Structure 1
């Protein structure tokens, strides 16, 4: 189950979104391909966010640097896909400088909550997903019923289904809360509280845009849909042929 695109076109070129994707990719290519495991570990300890180090009064710059580091190709590509799906619409609504400030603020809030949730952790946190979670939270507030195409993969069968954003993003947020409550702080892996913190920060930081549009009145007027015609895609069915069983 993986979101691949939305039906919410943007009327402006999302220069900041494109630039953020480019910067993340270039930074990743600068350190990852030729790094050994040992060298990568040392790099992440230095430039990733280590809560115990921050709580000791060191490494405050890593609140920012950790947002542009990724631990693997899949980590990078997954985050950049989510940023591309949801970022262009928020950038159009907030303007280029406003969206950049929003993105960085959401990322800082995400890192802050993860630090407070596990202040003694010595595991470095890296990734743009906290900031991107903020983008997802803002998107949910403005376009709760925008259609998002989700790819379902069941063994060899592929199916793309359009699902309202409030379901896709609501389920995603619930998973983060569940994961945060049920994952010991010293296990590493997914920074669930960073995701949750970024998401809530994105909702809060988008409130001024939502209120300028009329708040609840805006929702009533648009019924939660984007205030413009949606992108139409052809029905996406699996290219794998279905072989029906013959009856004797």
Structure 2
């Protein structure tokens, strides 16, 4: 019912695909402390993309992420968040699902494109997904994280 792998053999070792999986897992463990509530919430507010922050259309708005944590939209957008958000996840199931699909599909695309072009393509797909979300809801004060856009592009 659920795919564990594909049946397309590859000619090279999927170093970039494995590297991306390792980076995502390390971000989950080191930055987000494996989902510990305070670290997870802080990472969403500080390193996730907040469309209304990037566009300046939600400055000062507050979003309650948990009973203990409120994320307030800053007046100065953090321009690195479109990149950092691609490596963060909202929960361990979110991380597991994304890495599963990256493993299944990434190795074939990496083999076809080559390593350098694949990593560039992956990052561009992730940034394009962030851009699409910001354009579709430019005043949103809700943080956005995940590799789904990058992996969707790879698929």
- What TM-score bracket applies, with the shorter chain setting the length? 0.7 to 0.9
**Change beyond 3 A, Cα 1:15–1:34:** closer
Distance in 1 (CA, whole Å) between partners of 2:122 and 2:24 is: 13
Deviates more, 1:119-128 or 1:27-36: 27-36
Tell me how many residue pairs correspond in the alignment.
136
Q: Provide TM-score, normalisation by structure 2.
A: 0.82
The aligned residue for residue 50 of structure 1 is 50
Hey, what's the Cα distance between the residues in 1 that align with 2:46 and 2:88? 11
Structure 2: which 5+ residue stretches go unaligned? Answer: 57-75
What residue is the counterpart of 2:117 in the other structure? 98
Determine which structure has the larger strand proportion and give its number. Answer: 1
Q: C-alpha separation between the residues in 1 aligned to 2:132 and 2:35?
A: 30
- The 3-state SS of whatever aligns with 1:5 is coil
User: How far 1:106 sits from its partner (Å)?
Assistant: 0.4
Q: Select the structure with the greater relative contact order (CA < 8 A; seq sep ≥ 6).
A: 2
- CA distance in structure 1 between the aligned counterparts of 2:25 and 2:36, rounded to whole angstroms: 19
TM-score when normalising by structure 1 = 0.52
| Structure 1: runs of 5+ lacking an equivalent | 137-248
Tell me, yes or no, if structure 1 residue 124 matches structure 2 residue 143. yes
Could you tell me how far apart the structure 2 residues matched to 1:103 and 1:47 are? Answer: 19
Matches for 1:33-48 after TM superposition, within 5 Å: 33=33, 36-48=36-48
Give the structure with higher Rg (CA).
1
Instruction: Provide the alpha-carbon RMSD of the alignment.
Output: 1.6
Question: By how many angstroms is 1:39 displaced?
Answer: 4.1
Change (3 A) 1:53 1:41: same
Shift of 1:2: 3.5
- Match in the other structure for 1:78: 97
